[in-house]
Structure formats: structure tokens, C-alpha cells
Structure 1
Amino acid sequence: MSFRLDMTVIEKNTAAIRFAITLHNLTDKALEHWVLHFANSRKLNAASFTGGQLEQQGSYCVFTPNNAPVLAPNSSFYTEFEINTTAFSFHDDGINDAFLSSTIEQTQLVPIPVEVTTVDLGASPVERYTTPLQPAKDINIIPVPALLTPLSGQFTLSAATIIAQADPLAESAIRWLQSELELHFSLQLTLQRNGHVHYQLSEKIERDGYHILIEEDHIWVQASTAAGFTHATASLLQLIPLDADSQNSYSIPMVEITDQPHHNYRGMMLDCARHFHPMVRLKSFINQLARYKFNVFHWHLTDDEGWRIEIDAYPELTSIGAWRGPNEVLEPQYTHLTQRYGGYYSKVEIRELIQYASDRGLTIIPEIDIPGHCRAAIKSLPHLLLDPQDQSQYSGAQNYTDNILSAALPGTYQFIATVLGEVAELFPAPYVHIGGDEVPAGAWEKSDACQTFMAEHNYQQTMELQSHILRFADEILRTKGKRMMGWEEVTKGGEIDNNTVIYSWLSEDAGLASAKKDFDVIMQPAQFTYLDLVQGYSPDEMGVDWAGKLPLDKVYSYHPLANLATNDPIHHKIMGIQGALWCERIDTQQRFDHMIYPRLLALAEVCWSQPNLRHWDDFTARLNGQLQYLNKAGIQYRHCE
């Protein structure tokens, strides 16, 4: 690499940290009229930069040196600046990517690659956080079943094993069983009228629960719902040893299991806007969610950094909004700064994924984030969504100054009605999530159109404009037979219908407050469920730490509603639990796997199992038994020890 960028902590104060950046020219040629482009997710103090000017939009920073200096051969340029933050603890907090450009006779940016070194934190190294595991058990099902009774003997699974024809409710589960047996065990089991593996419909089984009895010559699976058969299959798959006894035969321990979920809603959210995840990754992830008995995949499809869903009425959303880069309408963000980066999911692909998930017992809930986090949409459809007279000054959590829909533009409502209409038609789920989070203070305040709109509707606070937009979205969804969902902020700024489902992410208390207002609630407290949080204290840990550290044992320690009396009626307003992976820093399969596994397995047990059945040492023993599967599946999980 011909250029190198170093970042060093040089001073730590209570309210701010001072950094130095050194840009090295390692070539024998001078670079004239240069500009430095780099990515850092923190809000940098632009006024504090020495020797030049900084502009920042999101994570994308552009530094222009004063007086157009020449970067001479084998020389360097030095600048200092501040960030109003507590001390950095992790290398991920540094500069993620960078490039140079020259302004000489160029109509487009021609990126010059720059090597970015690991930030010097100016701190003593911290040992990696480890999680000692207990020895694996003979039976290692996760999440732990309600009742499991080991029996004496084994059932031999081989290519000669036949699955008996079953009730139509079991067909998807049987197809999944056949698929997994072929993928992981090279077994192709046939389906015949009589067989050894029996899926039986039983109205005696609790909804979405199941019963398994494994005998020497037969396996009996009973459930009353399609979901119950899927959950039974997940447990059955975990009973199969990964190593063949001989000639592709596998000894399954004889056992009797009776099981049912503790929480009806067991979800996992994936952010596909900040970084694009290909379909093969999504399918693999959904397959793992099914294995560990999740039943909802919450698909975050739109945000400031990218629009990922095909909308027929607005092709610009994907031709423009799905892509970012040095010469795109959307600037580069986070990583891949020198490239045209992005992607989107066609409706054909989405329908395929919906069916794939459904076959594994999962419902896909789409999220279209409004009225904030809309920069990709606004940049794609400025003729519809941009208010050029809006002089409002704001900066949101991700450092954007132009990402909020205007409540006063007719185009906003045309856009919402059209997009939600197509989304509702595409997704069979009874819900659509509309975001509703992180609209910053200052939005709409200096828009003459919005101020007039407020006066016409007798609104006193600008946040009432958010509620106005969300009530419109709710009306559209109702006409399509859908129920609106949103982050906890949707309850701020005015009345919305309490048929809306609230996702509580800042804390459990926020969720309980919504439940007391008669909203149904999904608990998703970041401190226990955000898998983008770092997993330890050493500087090389991947992730963010705004909500603290989240090692495996802390995920497992989460006991939802632990301080709520068992007879409190609020329990009936809590639909379930959800985890999340926000992907500002998740751009590779390796990072994806490292952040999710094995914490996903701990979260699965939090969602599914009765609290009195959860014991840490027992879990780590069963987790130890699951690692062989994760290895065979090629999952690059964070090692515990």
C-alpha cells in the first residue's frame, strides 16, 4: 500500500478525547491537492481539527487540508481533533476504512487506497474474556426441554429408515427433517405409508408444543400444530450424533420429551440496510433460528445507508438507494469506501425466502423505517420527499442531518401508502414494522411548511408530526389487514392506536410503561439482547459498547419480567422476547458468525425455556455438546475458552 493512515489517542479528558491522525506518503511521488476520506462512526468535533476542514455525514468523513498542501514523497501530514466521548476501549472504535482523492482535473472521485492501521488506544492490554464450559452431556438439546426422560437403549438411524406418511400439518417439518439429514448426515430418507418415524397429530398436545418418544424400532412425534412439529424436529435433529457408528448409521438415544414454549413470540432481528447480507447467508441464518426454536425473523430492510426491498412503483429506491460509493448519490459508509457497495432483494427472492422460513416454522416480519432513518429514500426520491425550504438543524444518533420525512409534503403520504401497500401484499405476516425510532430534536422546527401544518392541526410540539405520520401509516396497514408494529419511540409525541405492538429496546422499564398503557409489547432490551455489543473487554473484541458489554453469560442471565409478580396482569401484554443484530460493523460472514454464535443459543433458551429449568452450568455443558455441530456447519463462532 502506498499510503498509510495512523490514529492515536493523545489525551483523555472526562468529557472528550483528543486524537492524532498521521497520513504517510510511502511513495516516491508527490500528491497534490489531496483530500482524505475516512469512516468513523463517532460524531467528530469538526471545529477541533487542526490544519484543515472536516465534513461528516453519517460515518463518512471528508478532511480537506488548508491551503492545498503537497504531500511530498516519503513524508507525512499530521492533524489533531477531539471527540466528545468517554475513553475508547476497542479497535473497532477507530477509523474503519480510508482513501485519498485529488481534485486536479477530475470530474469524478478516483479513490486512492490507503492502508488503515489499528488505532493506538494508549491503554494497557486487557485479557480476552473467556467462558469455561462444563463437559458435554450425552443429550445436549438447546433450548432445554420442559421434561426429558432418558430411556435405556438406542434407535439406529440409517438410509433404511423410512418416514411414515403423516397429517398435512407435519409436511413442512418432515421436508425440513429430510433436508437436514441429507445435508449433515448424507441420508436420504423416503416417505412411505408405513415407516419407522411417525409424525402424529394430537389435540392433547399444548399449542406449539410437542411430544417425542424414541423407542428401539420407532420414533413417535406428536404435536397439535405445524409449529409444534417443527419444534419437535429441531429437538430430534439435536439428538443425532454427528459421527456415524459405521457405514452411515447413527445411534439416537432412546428418550421421552414433553416440551412447549415459555414465550409465544421468539424473534431475531437482522439489519440488512447498513450492510447487505446475501440470500445464502439469510437462508443459513433462518435455518439456525429454526434449529433453536425461534419463530420470528424481523427483517430490517430500510435505513439511512440503504434501501433493500424492490418496490415496483419506485424503481429509484433500488437503482439509487440500494447503492453507496464515492460517485453514488449515497456516500460510502462504514466499510468498502472505495467501491460501489450494496444490493437489494427482488420480490422473487423475498417470496422464496418467505417460503423457506415458513417451511421451518418462522414468520418474516418486514420493517420499513419511518419517519426517521429515511435518508436512502429521500435521496432516491427527492422530487417526492425533499422539502428544499426546510432549514431545520439536527443530527441524529448516526450523525445524519437530512434523514427525516416531512410531515407537510403530500409526497410523504403518497410514498408511505404506496410502499406499505406493496409490502403488505408481498408479506403474508399479519404485522408490518414501521420503525418510528430516533427522530432527533430539531427536526421540522425550521420548516415553514411543517410549522404551518402544525398550526392547521393545532399541534403544539413537533413530535406530534411523527404521530400524525404514524397514524396515517396505521390506517394504510389496517386497510390491508395488517397490524402496525414499532420501536418504543412511536408512543412519544401524541396518540397512536394501542393496537400497535411496541418493541422495547432501551430497557424493560420502557416496555412495562407501554404495557401499562394497554399496548402489546415485545421485550428487546439492548443490554441483554443486542448481539452487536462487544463480548468482552479486550481491545480486539468486535462490536459496539454503547449499552455495555454482552458476554455469553450476561445474555443467559436475562430473566424477562423477573421483578414482576407472577399474577400481575401485565404479563398478558408481553408477547415475547427478541434479539437483534445491528450491522454497522458486520460486513463479512466471519464477523456475522462471531457476533451471533454462541450467544444466539443462550438467547434461544431465554425465549423458550421455563425460568426454573435454566441453570448456567447445565447450559454450558449442553453448549459444549453443540459446538461439534457448529464446527461441522462451518459456523465461525466466537470460541468460549
Structure 2
Amino acid sequence: MKKSILLIAVFLSSLNVLQAQKLDIIPRPVKIEQEDKLFVIPLAVKIIVDKKMQKSASYIASDFFKNTGINATVATGSKYGKNGISFLIDEKLDLPNDGYKLTVTQKGVLVKGKSSNGVLNGFQTLLQICSAKDVKKGTIPFVKIEDYPRFEWRGMMLDCSRQFFDKQTVENYIDWLAAHKMNVFHWHLTDDNGWRAEIKSMPDLTLKGAWRGPGEVLLPSYGSGDKRYGGFYTQQDMKEVVAYALARGIDIMPEIEIPGHSRAVTASYPEVGCVTTQETKSVQGEVKNVWCVGREENYQILDSIIREFSEMFPFEYIHVAGDEVNRANWEHCPKCRALMEKEGYTDTFQLQNYFFRRVEKIVAKYNRKTAGWNEILKGGEINPNTLISAWQGISYGIESAKKGYETIMMPGQFTYFDMAQSENERGHRWAAITDTKRAYSFEPIPNNDLTPEQQKMIKGVQGALWSEYLDRPARFMEYQSYPRIAALSEIGWTKKEDKNWDDFYGRLTHSHLQRLANMGIAFRDFPPTAIYKDGSITVTPPYEGAIVRYDTQGNEPTRQSPLYTNPIRTKDYENYQFRTFFNEVVASPAVKVEKLPVANWNTSKVEVLNISENISEHIDKNGIWYLTFVPTTDESISGAVKAVSLFENDKLIQTFSDEKTLKSKPRLRFLIENYNDKNTYRLDFTVENKEAKESSAKVNFNCSPYLEPEVKVTSSMVENPKFPISNLADYNPETYLRTDVACANGDWILYTFTNPVTTAKIDVLTGIPHHPRFIINNGFVEYSYNGIDFIKGDDFDYGNASIYPKQPVKAVKTTITGTNNEPLMAGQDLRINP
């Protein structure tokens, strides 16, 4: 009996060791076996690196030291060294090229790969084991790992045109990709706002086209301001970055943006563009940014550019873009029209196809293959060896694969990391709000839409970071990249059946966030959840051990703000914000307090739901209240909401009888003027689901923190009819004003209130909501107590200005003192604080 108890105790003890030593490897390996024994790394450990990997030896030594603190002796060889660490290539290994086997025993550590990249992937796993939270420093648990990637292409794109990142920053980015077993760095080197690659046959591309600002050929844009901004990489720089990446197992695919997105080219060499007097604009509002397809000399220029690119970048692909081409330029160009007539073309997509077939031949001339965005499939056949980057959506990847093209899945809805990560964060929103969980949910192979043979055309997955809005705050590029790239790495590497968000999140928060911090990445931490109920705010940290701080005045918490420890009793929950802090440079976004939904539903039937809810406990003051219907998931958007009514003590306050689709995320405004705590409130509405599709939503009811007085808005500037000036008077944060031209010295916007407004502060915001584009750079805000005499307030700073009146305000005026050097100006609703 005693012996049995002893055996059970030993067994449980070994389990505790295993449980305590979570390895938290990202991306998750295919197969891993772990024992409750440890290899203690000798202080004078010797590392053997296969002589075929000589180029990676110094990298292995330096990163091993960074992760263990042990300065190993490194030698090249082809045999396993006992009591040391060996990295060897075994071409007979029964694994894919990027696969590896890692074994840790009492004899030491052996990493074997079929290729040098496979060995390097094993090296990254070893570093992660050494840096796992539960692994004692200087030791490595006995493990046996067999691992290989699901996809051969695991890429990430960085836009260095809109914002210029220096060589060291690019190399850091490559280091971070290597740490996640990514193997392609897509380097976006040219665009409208800067040409970043030295081309010796066309020196003005960097002498002129790499710079923007006053007196430059390119206007200021994307936050560069009224100063000279830019930079470029010399050919020596790019060759060094290529070598740096190859030593880490990463290939670099350069991108030349043609024939659109080429304002940096046409501004430097105007003859490259079309000869036309028509000022047509691209999607981004740029003019004259397209290569002339009918100008024969342009193909000689492209030949010389592509030749020089091929000399710098040994990777098999050169990306030639093809997205968002403003084809209207060609319609007005005599040379392009003449070419269309000569070839018998009936539309400009055929002209685009002609251009790319010419470019493909040039690329092939220099022993490279062409890659391009999915738009290049339009207008006719292209070379079957061309690689398609499917960015506009999953359906475009499906179309490409069905046509027989090797395809990289990179839909903006999941893998564009310039997208905002929550409703209140900076970033694009056209594709989706994409947090780490949403990114992780992406499945690159749509099983139901492709045959097994067509599925094989999905070569891999890639993310993209466009840099329009990465100019501030400092290190925002890192914040937008991680931990979303950690999620992307697991999409590209780990078997579909082994992917699990809860498991990934556990590994990420237990060890991997600290690894990111150790790499020096200013990543985005996960925010807490703050819920208000029954007079208390209760905060749930995002993971065990997370540090949460709060502010009580509506400001973002800082590292000096109070630490949250227990529920907070208050009725002024709207004034609180909470934030997770990881270290001195890493934090989450600040979050406001949420109230629990007042109602919800979930159905997949064709049915009508009549919902009635007592919401008395959710209402606690007079004010403007907004009712929002938020779909639970991206797919649960079927159905419509109608007959929405709010009752106070069974008396109707307001009703909305018209039907609104759930897909439109309805937002309804209610005014509560007679609140007291004895009142009862009831919400009634009808949901009609007309198809047997999922309809599911949370219904939220929240009081606006701002005043919304009746206001008349006038301006000296001509509005865009699709974004009228009346949008500045509707207090809807999703609508805004756009002018038809840039603002200029002397322009103004005047807000005149029907009745003077008592307020402590008014914020005047310009630009598209959440985007620092089309902002006012030069100007100030004024305010008046009588509508005639004005007092100067703040100057505009990065598009925003404020006033702090001492009396009720009758009017607010935006006064512009200079151009914003952009195609147009945008303005938003006033934010009028009580």
C-alpha cells in the first residue's frame, strides 16, 4: 500500500513538472514530446553549425546569447557534438524543406533540418523553449519535436513609401519575422508618396521622388507636415538587407508599384505619364499617378528598372503591383487611345492586360517570375507562372485558384494590419476592425469552394502593413504588427485541426508577450474589460497577472494612474477609463466602461421576434441616449429591426417605425428629459428574419457624453455632395464633411448655435474619423459669445483644436491660414463637453 502511494506521488510530481514547464511555442509545432528532465547548458557550451550554413553562424551565436545570456563558442562542422548544441542539415530527412527535428537529451541538443531554413526554424523553437516563462534559465527540458509548416509561403509586407523606415528598422522587422518562422518579407518600395529604391539608370527617382514637402515634386502627405520628409535605400543598403534576411531564413520580394500608384515616378519624370488635361483622381485622391501604356519608351525604362531590381534581389519573384489603377487617365490620353484602336480593344482593362503582358516578358528576361495584386487578372490572360496576391477578399483568392494561378491569400478583412484593432483605435476601417482574435480566425483554404486540386494552388498566406497612418505615435508600426503577426505565423505554420484560439491566447499571454518585449517590440497589449452594473465598475484583467490602471476624468490612464484592485462604486461610470500596462513602452488601448446589453437575440430561422425588455436598471440620468444593434459576429447579420419604441412609465417617449437592416448596425437617438429613480423604462422592438440565415446581436443603450445642441453650419469651401456640410450638424461620428478641393488661406467653417451653449470645452476635429488625412495643418479655432465678436482659441495641432469658454457660446469658427497640401479637406462634428 505504501509503495502504491509512493508511486502515485512520484507520478503526480512528474505531472507537476510537466505542467510547470509550459513551453508556449508559437507557432504551435506539429508533434512534441516532453520529459520531466533537464539539460543544463554548460557555461562554456559549444555550438556546431553545419558548414553549409556558414552565413547564419554569427546570427545563431548572437541570438542564442540574447535569449540565454550564455556566450557560446561557435564552430562549423557536419557532426553532432556531444554535450553541446548542433545545427545540422540532413537532406535525406523525411520532412518538407522548412521542417526540422529537435531533440534534447542528456547528450545535448540536436537540431536537424532538410534545408538551412528548416534548421533555422528549429533554432527559433529552441530559443522559444529557452525563454518560456516556466523554464529555468540555463536549462532546456528534454523534448523531441518533429515540425514542419502547413504552407510554404508565410509572408509579411511592409510599406516603406508612405512612411520611410530606415535600414536598421527594416532589419529589426526581419528579425521579428524570423522569430515567428515567417519566410518572405514583401518590401513595398515604391508608391505615390515616395520612391525608396536607388535606380542608377534613373537617378531622379530618388533625388526627387524620395522626398516630399515645400518645394519638392511631391506634396506633404500622411503627417509629414510642412518640412522636407523622406529617404531611400541605396543599392548597397538593399543588398545588405537581402543578405541579412537570407541569414535568417527569409527571402525578400521587392515590389515596384506600376502602372498606378506612381506619382513619385511621374513627378520626377513627367514624360512617363499620360499627356492629358483631365485631372482625374485615383482612389486615394492622387492625380497624374499612372504610367502611359501607349508610350513605347516606358517599356525601355521599365526594362532598366527591373534589371537593376533583379541584380539586387535574388528571390524568384518581383512584385509589380497592378492595384487601384486610375484607368480614366488612359481614356483621355491620345497615345493610349491610339494603342487601344490599333489592338482592337474595347475597354481599358484590356489595355491594363497589355501592359502586364509586356512587363511579364521583361521580368522573365531577367530570370524572375511576376507577382501582382489580384486586379491583374482582369482584361485577359496572363502568364500562368504569375503569382497572385489576393487582397480584396477571400473570393478573389478563390477566383485566382480556380483559374489555375498560384495564389497567396492575404484578404484585407483579416490580414491587413493597418486596420484598427478596436472601434476607438487609430487605423483604417474599410475592411474590418481586426484584433488579434479576428486575425487568428482566418482560414486560408475555403474547403467548400475549391476542389482538392484547386486547393493546392493556395501557396500560402501573407499579412500587410500599409503605412499611411503609422507616422504617430512613436513606434506605432510595432503596435500594429504585434501580436497580430504572431497569430499570422500560426495560420501559416500550424495544421488547421491544431489551431485553437484559447490555446494560442494562453501561450501568447503566459510567455510570448514577454518574448516580444525581450525583442524590444512595442506591441499592443490586450485591454481589460470594465463592466458597470448596480452602481459598481468591475474590471476583468485580460490575463492572469496583468496590471490595470484607471483614470476618473475621462483621460487615458498613465503609468502613474491608480492601480485597479477592487470594484469601484460610482454613478459617474462614463468618466472612467482603464488600461493594461505591460512595461515602460507597452500598453493596451484605453477602454471605457461598458454596460451590459439591454437585450439580445439569436436565431437562424425565418421568423418574427417581438422583443420587450424592462430596461429601468440601465437608465440613470437625463440626456441623449443611443440605442445600437451590434451583430454578434461578422456572419450574424441577417434580418431587420423595426418598430423600435421606448416607454417611460408605460408612456411612449419615442418610436422609430421604419425598417433598418441589422447589417447596417442601426443607431437610434432617444432624448430622456424626466428621469428619476422611481421611473420604469421599457424597450419594445421587432426583429424580422426573412431568410434561414444567422441573425444575432447585442442591443446596447448608452448615454452620450457630449451635448448635441441645434446648430447651423456654413463654410467658404465647396462641399462634396456625397459628404455634405450638413454632416457637421448631425452629431453622428460616422459621417463627416469632405470638400472638393484643398483648403486655402482665408477659408473658414462657421458653427452657429440656435441658443447659446454652456460648455466647459469644445473640441474641433478635422480629417476623416480615426484617420489623420485631409486634416487642417494651418489655422486656429475662434469662438463668440454673441455671434459677432470672436476670441481666438487653440491653433490646430495635427488637425485638432479646442476652446475653453467662460460663458455660453453662440458660435464657433474654424479659420484656415494655409493649404493642407492634400486633394481635399475633411471635417467632423464638434465634440461639446457638458
Interval of TM-score (by shorter of Structure 1 and Structure 2): 0.7 to 0.9
Asked whether 1:269 is paired with 2:154, we answer: no
Question: Which of 280, 288, 303 lines up with 2:191 in the alignment?
Answer: 303
Give secondary structure in 2 for the equivalent of 1:585: coil
The 8 Å contact of residues 170 and 229 in structure 1, kept in 2 or not, is answered as no
Asked whether 1:188 is paired with 2:71, we answer: yes
Alignment correspondent of 2:121: 231
Give secondary structure in 2 for the equivalent of 1:444: helix
Alignment correspondent of 1:159: 43
Q: CA deviation at 1:523?
A: 0.6
CA distance in 2, matches of 1:511, 1:452: 34
Alignment correspondent of 1:387: 274
Alignment correspondent of 1:177: 60
Asked whether 1:447 is paired with 2:333, we answer: yes
Give secondary structure in 1 for the equivalent of 2:74: strand
Question: Which of 507, 517, 526 lines up with 1:622 in the alignment?
Answer: 507
Q: More strand per residue: 1 or 2?
A: 2
CA distance in 2, matches of 1:401, 1:571: 40
Alignment correspondent of 1:332: 220
How do 1:382-531 residues align onto structure 2 when only pairs under 5 Å count? 382=270, 384-388=271-275, 390-531=276-417
Alignment correspondent of 2:652: none
Deviations 1:215-269 (A, max 9, x none): 13400111111110011001011011378999xx612222111000000100001
Question: Which of 496, 502, 513 lines up with 1:611 in the alignment?
Answer: 496
CA distance in 2, matches of 1:387, 1:351: 33
Q: 1:244 to 1:492 in 2, by over 3 A?
A: closer
Question: Which of 202, 210, 220 lines up with 1:322 in the alignment?
Answer: 210
Q: What residue identity is the alignment partner of 1:514?
A: S
Alignment correspondent of 2:232: 344
Alignment correspondent of 1:596: 481
Give secondary structure in 2 for the equivalent of 1:235: helix
**Larger displacement relative to structure 2 (324-333 or 203-212):** 203-212
Q: What residue identity is the alignment partner of 2:40?
A: T
Give secondary structure in 2 for the equivalent of 1:153: strand
Asked whether 1:198 is paired with 2:99, we answer: no
Q: What residue identity is the alignment partner of 1:168?
A: K
Asked whether 1:256 is paired with 2:141, we answer: no
CA distance in 2, matches of 1:375, 1:136: 57
TM-score normalized with structure 1 length: 0.75
The 8 Å contact of residues 157 and 252 in structure 1, kept in 2 or not, is answered as yes
Deviations 1:324-379 (A, max 9, x none): 00221110001121210000000101000000000000000000011000110011
Q: 1:436 to 1:617 in 2, by over 3 A?
A: same
Q: 1:147 to 1:566 in 2, by over 3 A?
A: farther
Give secondary structure in 1 for the equivalent of 2:433: coil
Alignment correspondent of 1:353: 241
CA distance in 1, matches of 2:56, 2:216: 45
Q: What residue identity is the alignment partner of 1:488?
A: N
Give secondary structure in 2 for the equivalent of 1:478: helix
Deviations 1:360-403 (A, max 9, x none): 00000000011000110011112x31333x13453222111210
Alignment correspondent of 2:687: none
Q: What residue identity is the alignment partner of 1:518?
A: G
Q: 1:245 to 1:229 in 2, by over 3 A?
A: closer
CA distance in 2, matches of 1:200, 1:182: 19
The 8 Å contact of residues 367 and 434 in structure 1, kept in 2 or not, is answered as yes
The 8 Å contact of residues 392 and 445 in structure 1, kept in 2 or not, is answered as no
CA distance in 2, matches of 1:257, 1:245: 17
Question: Which of 99, 104, 107 lines up with 1:209 in the alignment?
Answer: 99
Give secondary structure in 2 for the equivalent of 1:553: helix
Higher RCO (Cα < 8 Å, 6 or more apart): 1
Q: CA deviation at 1:158?
A: 4.5
CA distance in 1, matches of 2:403, 2:229: 43
Q: CA deviation at 1:455?
A: 0.9
CA distance in 1, matches of 2:376, 2:42: 54
| Aligned CA-pair RMSD | 2.0
Structure 2: give runs of 5+ residues left out of the alignment: 1-18, 528-834
Asked whether 1:372 is paired with 2:255, we answer: no
CA distance in 1, matches of 2:112, 2:318: 32
Which is greater in Rg? 2
CA distance in 2, matches of 1:360, 1:299: 16
Give secondary structure in 2 for the equivalent of 1:496: coil
Q: CA deviation at 1:169?
A: 3.3
Alignment correspondent of 1:105: none
The 8 Å contact of residues 213 and 221 in structure 1, kept in 2 or not, is answered as yes
Q: CA deviation at 1:176?
A: 2.5
Give secondary structure in 1 for the equivalent of 2:475: helix
Deviations 1:80-99 (A, max 9, x none): xxxxxxxxxxxxxxxxxxxx
Asked whether 1:572 is paired with 2:456, we answer: yes
Question: Which of 535, 541, 544 lines up with 2:428 in the alignment?
Answer: 544
Q: What residue identity is the alignment partner of 1:269?
A: M
Q: CA deviation at 1:551?
A: 0.8
CA distance in 2, matches of 1:346, 1:183: 30
Q: 1:565 to 1:340 in 2, by over 3 A?
A: closer
The 8 Å contact of residues 414 and 432 in structure 2, kept in 1 or not, is answered as no
The 8 Å contact of residues 22 and 135 in structure 2, kept in 1 or not, is answered as no
How do 1:48-127 residues align onto structure 2 when only pairs under 5 Å count? none
Deviations 1:250-293 (A, max 9, x none): 12222111000000100001100110011111111101111101
Count of matched residue pairs: 500
Give secondary structure in 2 for the equivalent of 1:334: coil
Alignment correspondent of 2:465: 581
Alignment correspondent of 1:138: 22
**Larger displacement relative to structure 2 (166-175 or 455-464):** 166-175
Q: What residue identity is the alignment partner of 2:482?
A: Y
CA distance in 1, matches of 2:266, 2:518: 44
